[in-house]
Structure 1
Amino acid sequence: MENVQAGTDKCKLKLHKIYVPNISFNRSDNYSEKNSKFQVKVGYETAHSENNSKTKVTIKIEIADKKDDALTINVSLCGIFSMEPNDKENEKFFIKQSLAILFPYLRSLVTNITVQAEIPPIVLPPINFNALIDKQSNNEQS
């Protein structure tokens, strides 16, 4: 995979690698497409390398049938990124952009899993990562 770069002259974001550490798909025998209403939970984590040169950003999604858990999907997708300059001032920008880069891969993965399971495809809606990050930041500060 080639490095992907985004940013301005002041800040450069590079994607070095994408991988899937976890996929879980469970469909019970009593699953019914007609009665399904899904609840979608999205979260993220970050982890810095020892020398802070690279950051692992993990986006996680949990999809479950609200009624009876007849269908559950859990997927984690990781991206290894670097950013120059690497400072605290740009961290929110870094996380928002990293998640925006990773999300289309996650979205495609969920759609493909459901199509191959011979159920109607689940196509994730766009996500407001600004709100997600602000909400998670507020929860961590509380």
Structure 2
Amino acid sequence: MEEVAFSLKTYKFSKASLDFNIPNNANLTVSFNPIGTYSQSTGVYHLCFDVLVECKETNSNVIKVTCEASFEFNQSLKLEEIPVFFYPNSLAILFPYVRAFVSTLSLQANVRPVMLPTINLMGLTETLRKNTSVVD
């Protein structure tokens, strides 16, 4: 069998919400909800990556971003043939774009920039695998 490779084809931000009324020294928590759909006939994987940042002090969402991306495999695979490394790597490829987007929005708003930390996304591997469905 040929070695499986994939590449990022496209990405876009379909939703963004930032609330800049964040208290100084606020305790923020970051959560993720990745969902994928895969076309076995074309070898294209569509990833919808939701990122939510909540403020503990105000019990409110301060950042909500949805980034959608398409990844293309070098060959058509069945869903179960997608290598395990794809799931965390697809998120790791997309996350720097999310971080930069959030930082740029807050900077352009002329408020203290919001910087999402670098995060090891390996813990989302099973979540994304379970949240992946076949579309054809």
Task: Give the TM-score, by structure 2 length.
Answer: 0.78
Q: 1:41 touches 1:63 (CA, 8 Å); kept in 2?
A: yes
Match of residue 13 from structure 2:
20
The higher-RCO structure (CA 8 Å, 6+ apart) is: 2
User: SS at the partner of 1:92?
Assistant: coil
User: SS at the partner of 2:81?
Assistant: helix
**Distance change in 2, residues 1:32/1:44 (3 Å):** closer
Q: Give yes or no for the alignment of 1:55 onto 2:45.
A: yes
TM-superposed CA distance for 1:89, in Å, is 3.2
Q: Give yes or no for the alignment of 1:36 onto 2:36.
A: no
TM-superposed CA distance for 1:20, in Å, is 0.9
CA distance in 1, matches of 2:129, 2:3: 28
RMSD over aligned Cα atoms: 2.5
Q: Give yes or no for the alignment of 1:123 onto 2:121.
A: no
Which of 94, 101, 105 is equivalent to 1:113? 105
User: SS at the partner of 1:103?
Assistant: helix
Q: Give yes or no for the alignment of 1:73 onto 2:66.
A: no
CA distance in 1, matches of 2:84, 2:55: 32
**Distance change in 2, residues 1:118/1:125 (3 Å):** same
User: SS at the partner of 1:108?
Assistant: helix
Match of residue 134 from structure 2:
none
User: SS at the partner of 1:19?
Assistant: strand
For structure 2, the 5+ residue unaligned runs are: 132-136
**Distance change in 2, residues 1:40/1:33 (3 Å):** same
- The share of aligned pairs that are identical, in percent, is 23
Match of residue 91 from structure 2:
99
Which of 92, 116, 133 is equivalent to 2:125? 133
Which amino acid in 2 is paired with 1:99? L
TM-superposed CA distance for 1:53, in Å, is 2.3
Which of 3, 8, 11 is equivalent to 1:10? 3
Which amino acid in 1 is paired with 2:10? K
TM-superposed CA distance for 1:92, in Å, is 2.4
For structure 1, the 5+ residue unaligned runs are: 1-8
